[in-house]
Structure 1
Amino acid sequence: MLVLNVVLLCLLATVSANKTLSSHASILADNSADLAFNLYQNLAKEKDIENILISPVVVASSLGLVALGGKSNTASQVKTILSATTVKDEQLHSGLSELLTEVSNSTARNVTWKISNHLYGPSSVSFADDFLKSSRKHYNYEHSQINFREKRSAVKAINEWVSKSTDGKLPEVTKDVEKTDGAMIINAMFYKPHWDEQFHHKMVDNRVFLVHRSYTVSLPMMHRTGIYGFFDDTTNNLLLLDMPLAHKMSSIVFIMPYHVESLERVEKLLTRQQLNTWISKMEQRAVAVSLPKVSVEVSHDLQKHLTELGLTEAVDKAKADLSNISGKKDLYLSNVFHASAMEWDTEGNPPDTSIYGTDKLKNPKLFYADHPFIFLVKDKKTNSILFMGRLVRPKGDKMRDEL
């Protein structure tokens, strides 16, 4: 029976790997990658934000939910943000659903990716049956009313849902909710990549991570030497590393300055075109890799940032038309909480031992990630970006704080 189950899982993975996206899903996948850079740059401008972690395909799905619940300009603004003004409504929803279903298929991709979405509405609002049905079908949303008269207990209930839906990996999404009279979108995710070639569990030790020159933390780092895509950008003083994940449908691209510095300089260079240029210059070669073995937990309220990208009506109480949600024009979007936990661990496929002791691993380049860097989980099959972020301040024991 066990053997049969394994065979069936392999067959399912093969079918998924060979299946191609529909034309409208492919367009939306490509456009969501543009959204990734626009949203990242918007977040990076905020001086009080340190770590960044967003899933552009999940944000695109949340925007799809707004379009599903909206009418007139409230809905059309979503298409503008997604560069999908010529895509029909049904194709928008089915395409975003198809994209997210494809990239989050844990069986085919051998990753752990838990995605939970929840739409909270004020206790005075009732959800329309058609909206409930369509939002579950296309976006797998849960729905509930919430009463903020007892704000502390309401926030506690929200955080308990987030923790439960991520198996405790995200203990909370927010400590407070300022605007309590509108609809609230919450994305709660846990993502754990499985490497194409695992790190050996014994090749882990405590090292120093330089948050900046006068502040360091102690954390575990994992080490391995293997064949990876690598580019040394001597013009911009950057190292780039491309590490494939299991099944090789996606990979994590790391972008790191030579030395500890604010990432502002690097972020000014960061565009989709520049990323493609860097990737085109990568060579497969031996690289000695050292990465933090950590969990990164980040929660962003994206309402302000989506507004700056063009979602101005849904968030405006006077202009919003979300009447498909409730049957009445009595609702606006007050919060978009986007929370993710990403865990980097040693787990992955067995290494290719045939190259051990050969010239292929001689004179490796060094990628020692002991200071802030940018990273992207790039999907090769759909040309989308599953996650984009930066690690500036990982969890660890404080070691030094000097003037």
Structure 2
Amino acid sequence: MKTTFYMSLLLAGLHAVAHGQLLPSHHNGHDTNEHIHHAHEAVACLKLVPNNADFAFQFFKEITLEAPNKNIFFSPVSISTAFAMLALGARSTTQTQILEGLTFNLTEIQEKEIQEGFHNLIHMLSHPEGGVQLNMGNAIFLTEKLKPLKKFLDDAKALYQLEAFTTDFNNPMEAEKQINDYIERKTHGKIADLVKDMDPQTVMLLATFVFFKGSWEKPFKPEHTEEREFFVDPEMTVKVPMMHQTGRFDLYFDEELSCTVVRLHYNGSATAFLVLPAKGKMKQLEETLVKETVQEWSEHLFQSLVSLYFPKFSISGSYEITNTLSKMGIVDVFSDQADLSGITGTPDLKVSKVVHKAALDVDERGTEAAAGTAAEILTLSIHPTIEFNRPFLMLIFDRDTNSTLFIGKIVNPTITS
């Protein structure tokens, strides 16, 4: 009988939140050596880009099948990172399944390259250009009697910035409090009570988190926000605070997928794609969305003067994703076939549960704008209105690493979880 190990993935995404100043860029005044190091990191990251994107959209398809007509919000890069780290301690078929489940072709890329790529990805995402705050981290909570191999801990610390803690899982309430307090602190209070109903048999818990806080490059004015109708489905309409601004935006009308794409930038390196399918076309979009689709949108965007309405909302997604990952080929690690002997030196360990939680806040401003006034003068002409008043997708990318940070499907913006 294998000892079980509970894995928890958590993250908070705070988007365009109106509290507090963000930190200035860490990249001012770099010398040549730092630029060279940055370039090397970027190259290592870029090897992962196509695979991480494929994983993101495959996972999205699976989750939408499991939760049709519901809000969805998750961070593909967080899930990929956690499982790449787990692969460090996996051996034989278990390791192969994890890496292939993350969509890597092991005849084209070696495990060592994958690990180096994730190490550099974490480093780059944790030191973003000014205007975006993005913290990633990993923690492992271990029962006192479980002694992980020094090599695993050293490698995981060096590659994944892993923090390790001793935990008494025989006292589930105390263990839950320790883990939840740590998570809440690391996600600035955004994610609370992630872990509950813990199995006293748990010997190890792996937690991964992402915390993102961004501010719109073109903020919305709060005085222009008004309550408007949002059409959840043909039978249900809700009232939502709808932000509004008129200006030049990057747009694309995808005739094949019957959807309108609007791209909004955050200050710094993050970008959001807001995707509004025509009525009744969401399912078609969900089933066909792949990384090439987003690439095509990027290449065909054009600037146009529009009147944009976009809801102000907060949602979170919480998932037990063991089943989803099993469908994607990651099977043995959850069974008595698991070989995680690279973690403890013995093969008697398996993952019992994987929990993933993500949260998203969207509002008008982000950081408070600096003093100074710039009036945008617009010609008084008839310009199209784009109103996100029915279910839509929101994809958030990091431009420096081409990473899919978050994927959201907002069916009903008044439901927060």
Mapped to 1, the partners of 2:252 and 2:59 lie a distance apart of 26
Q: Which one of the candidate residues 223, 230, 239 is aligned to 1:202?
A: 223
Change (3 A) 1:68 1:74: same
Cα distance, 1:284–1:173 mapped onto 2, change above 3 Å: same
Cα 1:353–1:33, aligned 2, differ >3 Å: closer, same or farther? farther
Match of 1:129 in 2: 150
1:240 aligns with 2:246: no
More deviation in 12-21 or 145-154? 12-21
1:267 shift after superposition: 0.6
CA distance in 2, matches of 1:202, 1:79: 49
Change (3 A) 1:9 1:235: closer
Deviations 1:270-317 (A, max 9, x none): 12222323333321112222222222222222222222212112121x
Cα separation, 1, equivalents of 2:69 and 2:273: 21
Larger mean Cα displacement after TM superposition, 17-26 or 66-75: 17-26
Partner of 2:310: 291
Structure 2: which 5+ residue stretches go unaligned? 1-22
Cα shift at 1:18: 10
**Corresponding residue number in structure 1 for 2:413:** 394
* Correspondences of 1:12-91 after superposition (within 5 Å): 19-20=38-39, 21-47=41-67, 50-80=70-100, 81-85=102-106, 86-91=108-113
Q: Which amino acid counterpart does residue 105 of structure 1 have in structure 2?
A: H
1:371 equivalent in alignment to 2:390: yes
Q: How does 1:243-262 map to 2 (within 5 A)?
A: 243-247=264-268, 249-259=269-279, 261=280
Deviation of 1:343 (Å):
1.9
Specify the alignment match of 2:377 in structure 1: 357
Task: State the Cα deviation string for residues 3-47 of structure 1 (Å, max 9, x = none).
Answer: xx9697633599779943454421112321111111111111103
Letter in 1 for 2:112: E
Q: Deviations over 1:314-350 (max 9, x none)?
A: 121x211111211221211122222222221222586
Counterpart of 1:305? Answer: 324
- For the residue of structure 1 that corresponds to 2:140, the secondary structure is strand
What's 2:18 paired with? none
Residues 24 and 87 in structure 1, CA contact (< 8 A), matched pair in contact too = no
SS of the counterpart of 2:222? coil
Is 1:93 matched with 2:115?
yes
| DSSP-derived class of the 1:112 partner | strand
Contact 2:248/2:303 (8 A) holds in 1:
yes
* C-alpha distance 396-297 of structure 1, shift in aligned 2 (>3 A): closer
Distance 1:38 1:386, change over 3 A: same
Q: Secondary structure at the match of 2:97?
A: helix
Match of 2:249 among 224, 228, 232: 228
Higher percent of residues as helix:
1
1:186·1:336 contact (CA, 8 Å) conserved in 2? no
Match for 1:309: what amino acid? M
Q: CA RMSD in A?
A: 3.2
Letter aligned with residue 139 of structure 1: Y
- In the TM superposition, 1:302-341 aligns within 5 A as 302-316=321-335, 318-341=336-359
| Equivalent pair of 1:192/1:343 in contact (CA under 8 Å) | no
Q: Read off the aligned partner of 1:330 and give its amino acid letter.
A: D
CA 1:116–1:165: 2 relative to 1, 3 Å: same
The question of whether the paired residues in 1 share the 8 Å contact of 2:125 and 2:134 is answered with no
Cα shift at 1:211: 2.8
1:144 to 158, 165, 176: 165
Label 1:136 to 1:200 Cα distance change in 2 as closer, same or farther (>3 A). same
What is the CA distance between 1:356 and its match in structure 2? Answer: 2.5
Aligned length: 388
2:284 to 222, 241, 265: 265
Aligned residue number for residue 173 of structure 1: 194
Contact 2:313 2:413 in 1 (8 A): yes
Please state whether the residue corresponding to 1:208 is helix, strand or coil.
strand
Unaligned stretches of 5+ residues in structure 1: 398-403
Aligned equivalents of 1:279 and 1:370: distance in 2?
Answer: 23
